Amino acid sequence: MLRKTSAATGGYVGKGVNVETIQRNFSEFLIRQSTLAGPMAAVDVTRANELKQLEGIFEGGATGLGASINDMLKSIADVTSAPTDMTARTVTLTRIDETASRLRAASQRLDDLQTGIAQELTQKALPMTC
């Protein structure tokens, strides 16, 4: 709160104002939002990291699962068009084995990711329960 001062003192024309009180205005909503912003940012960072790991499991390109499945299906189509061709059959069996191997590797990586997330959640939740 501001109070005018007398201009008659000291020969000066006006002295401005004297501060009598300072009153703080605040919004509980904004304080609550500000308090929640930090943990929410941490959640977003964690989610982004886990999604990056998941993207790594299902990567594209020539070494990805999609390419392996595509190659396998093409080789099956080759066997369908030439069922007596032993080379086509051998290639198909090789492609099926490669696809199965990549699927097993992806499954193992998913299991490892799930285990890691579960352990991380347990470690972070433990201090909250104590």
Task: List the chain domain ranges.
Answer: 1-49, 58-130
pLDDT digits (tens, 9 = 90+) for 98-109: 999 999 999 999
Instruction: Tell me the CA distances in angstroms from 64 to 67, 92, 98, 101, 128, one per residue in order.
Output: 6, 18, 11, 12, 40
Q: Is the pLDDT of residue 4 over 90?
A: no
Q: Is the pLDDT of residue 85 over 60?
A: yes
pLDDT digits (tens, 9 = 90+) for 8-65: 555 555 666 777 788 777 778 888 888 888 778 888 888 899 999 999 898 888 888 9
* CA–CA distance, 54 with 34 (Å, rounded to integer): 31
